[in-house]
Structure 1
Amino acid sequence: MIAKLTGRLDSSGAGHAVIDVGGVGYLVEASARTLDTLGAAGNEVTIHTEMLVGEDFLRLLGFARAEERDWFRLLTSVQGVGAKVALAILSALEIADLQRALASGDSAMVARANGVGPKLAQRICNELKDKAGALGGIAGTGAAATPAAGPQADAVTALSGLGFKPAEASAAVAAANEELGAAATLDALVRLALKKAAK
C-alpha cells in the first residue's frame, strides 16, 4: 500500500498529476484544490495517497493533506459516492465549508459539486452529520475545531469509543481544551470532557 509520495512534480493536467519518485512516474488523481497546492512542474512535492484496487484497475489518488484523505474516505463510505464524486466535492468545497454544510444539513452547498444531485447531497448530509465530528469538530455546533492529530484528537476518539456521538465528543473536548489550555494532557482532557459531556 502506498500511503505517501515525495518527489518532483513531472506534470499535471485536469484531475491528475505525475510525480517522479526516483525515476518512476506515479500517475495520481487529485482534487483541483490539491493540484493547485502542487505548483509548477519541477517542484519538490509531498502528497498523501489512497490506492484503489479493483479486478481490472489500480488507481492512486493524491491529497495535499492527510485530513483531506480522511474526508475522502468518509465521503466514499456513503452509498452512491465513488472516488470521482468525492474528489468533485473536495474540489468544490473547502473542508471547513463541508463541515459547516454537514452540521447544518445544507445539502444545497454539497450539491454545488459536479455530479452531485439534490438526493445524493441530502443522503451525504444525513449519513455524515454525526460522523464528521470525528474529523476535527463540526463548525456551527459551538465546538471549536479539533486538530486531526494530538491530545485533542485522541480525546475525541476516546469519548467516541465510550459511546458519545462524534459531534458531542468534539464539542466536549473543545470545551475542556479551552478551560485547560494548550498544554493539556490527554488524561486531563478526557476527564474534563467526560464531565462536560455528562452535563
Structure 2
Amino acid sequence: MSTESTVTQIVIKDTSANPAPLGLLGFGTTTILLNLHNAGCYPLNSMIIGMGLFVGGIAQLIAGVQEFKKNNTFGATAFCAYGSFWLSLIVIWLLPKTGAGAALASDEKALAAYLFIWGLFTLFMFFGSLRLSRMLQVVFATLTVLFFLLAIGDYTGNAGIKTFAGYEGVVCGLSAFYGSVALVLNEVYGKTVLPLG
C-alpha cells in the first residue's frame, strides 16, 4: 500500500494600490502651508490646524498602515511617525487653549527639545533614504535641516532663523508634493513622466 501526499502552494498576490503618494501628499501639503506661516506669510490659523489634523495626521497614518501591508518598513515607519508628529503638534498648540491644559503650555526650550528629537529621528531616516530614490533623499535631507533650524530658532529665540527655516521648509514640502504627483502620474501613464531619481 503506497501513501502519496500532495502539497498545494497558494500564492497571494497583493493588488492594493501604492499608499506612498497619499502619504507624501499629506506630508508635503501640510509642510508647505505650515512653513509659509513660519516664513511670515500669515499667522497660525484654523487652515493649518485643519490640514495638520486631517491631511498631515490622519492621511499619513492611513498611508503608514497600508505600507505595513506592503511590507515596507521604511514607508510604514515614516508615514506613521510623521502623521503622529502632526497630531502631537496640534495637541501642543490646542491643549493650552483649554481650561484644563492651560498650565501645561510648552515654552520655547521644550519646543526646541521636541523639534531636536524629531530632527535626530529624521537624520537617521535620511541615512535610510540613501538606499532609495533621490526624491526621498531630498525630502529627508531638507526635513532634517528644517527640524534643526526650527529647534535652534526656538532655543535662541531668533526670529530670523525661524523665518529662514520657513522658506527652507517650503522647499522640503514641495519636494514631497513633487514625489506624490510623480508617483501618481508615472503609474497612470505606465512610464516615467516625472523622474524620481
The two structures have a TM-score, normalised by structure 1, of 0.26
Q: Which has the higher strand share?
A: 1
Which of the pair has more CA radius of gyration?
A: 2
Q: Which has the higher helix share?
A: 2
